């Protein structure tokens, strides 16, 4: 059995992910675009699991920009401390809440450029919000996706921007939002950084049956 060609890999990966995760749930608990935006911001260098433990107390304090803008940064910081980077994240949450009020009538804009201009919101966070809050096709690339795309030969993996471009070219736009989540779930469950080296999980073995050595991947 030889390694699959790229088009065959793409088709197999999509089919397998759809079989395993036909309706992938959004991992971060939220109730609207604003709470999703804050939750995604908190998830930087932090697990979704930990964010989901922290946000109920934060929403109790403030679950909309108007209330959040009134909360002292120190109070926000005290609640979100377990998520790490709390000095920067608490300032960003406070500032972006004020900007949403002054520039966007208290609403989260369904516009990737406007989102990226908000404090603490990078391209990945903005893409997640566009995809999960507004249903706009986006392909946010996190560390799981960056690693798996390299293991599966879908990108050279020079950086996350290149990985995003490559994935968008390979998969039809209408599948981007679900694929983003499916790859994350697969990466956590079957193809984690330590749990698979590019030679052990079902997708890696099917795509590259000839691969004998671990696949080295570049970090995001």
Active site residues: 124, 142
Taking the CB of residue 180, how many other CB atoms lie within 10 A of it? 25
Give the largest Cα separation in the chain, rounded.
63
| 208's tokens | 């590259």
Q: How far apart are CA 65 and CA 105, in angstroms?
A: 10
Quick one: 41 exposed, middle or buried, by C-beta within 10 A (0-12, 13-18, 19+)? buried
| 204's tokens | 């890696």
């Amino acid at each position: 059995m030889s390694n699959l060609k790229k088009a065959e890999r793409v088709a197999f990966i999509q089919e397998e992910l759809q079989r395993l995760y036909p309706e992938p749930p959004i991992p971060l608990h939220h109730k609207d675009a604003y709470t999703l935006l804050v939750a995604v911001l908190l998830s930087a260098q932090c697990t979704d699991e930990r964010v989901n433990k922290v946000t109920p107390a934060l929403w109790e304090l403030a679950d909309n920009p108007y209330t959040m803008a009134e909360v002292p940064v120190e109070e926000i910081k005290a609640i979100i401390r377990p998520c790490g980077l709390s000095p920067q994240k608490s300032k960003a949450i406070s500032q972006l809440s004020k900007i949403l009020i002054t520039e966007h009538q208290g609403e989260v804009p369904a516009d990737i450029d406007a989102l990226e201009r908000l404090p603490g919101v990078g391209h990945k966070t903005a893409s997640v919000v566009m995809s999960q809050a507004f249903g706009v096709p986006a392909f946010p690339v996190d560390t799981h996706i960056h690693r798996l795309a390299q293991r599966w030969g879908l990108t050279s993996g020079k950086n996350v921007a290149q990985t995003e471009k490559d994935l968008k070219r390979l998969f039809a736009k209408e599948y981007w939002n679900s694929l983003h989540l499916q790859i994350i779930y697969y990466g956590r469950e079957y193809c984690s950084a330590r749990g698979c080296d590019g030679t052990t999980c079902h997708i890696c073995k099917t795509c590259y049956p000839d691969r004998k050595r671990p696949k080295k991947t570049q970090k995001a």
